[in-house]
Structure 1
Amino acid sequence: MVNAVGFHRTDLLHLGKDALGKRRYQVEVLPAATFRSVRQCVLHGMGLSRLTNLLD
């Protein structure tokens, strides 16, 4: 199942608070190669494997 989700509806992973009491969140960016693999897997799961060669 594929869902479209607005970024404003997502929530970051809460890591607790730092020494000053400020909230800390985990913020990581996927490497381009990893995200490409995710996109390939989604296309494959949808039966659209032939489109993977069109990914940048």
Structure 2
Amino acid sequence: MDEALKTFDIKRSLSMKSCPYDNAVAEATFKIIKTEFVKGKNFEDLTEVGQ
């Protein structure tokens, strides 16, 4: 993993240890996407997801 990050010049984003709120916005966003858009639907491939 570290090698891939160096290859693409990506810096890690680390938060405080045991902080339950550091990723709350991202988690809430993905929950909305999963429950409102994806749940109960079947996609044959990735091109159907993007339509």
TM-score, scaled to structure 2: 0.29
TM-score, scaled to structure 1: 0.27
Higher strand share: 1
Q: Which has the higher contact order (CA 8 A, sep 6+)?
A: 1
Higher helix share: 2
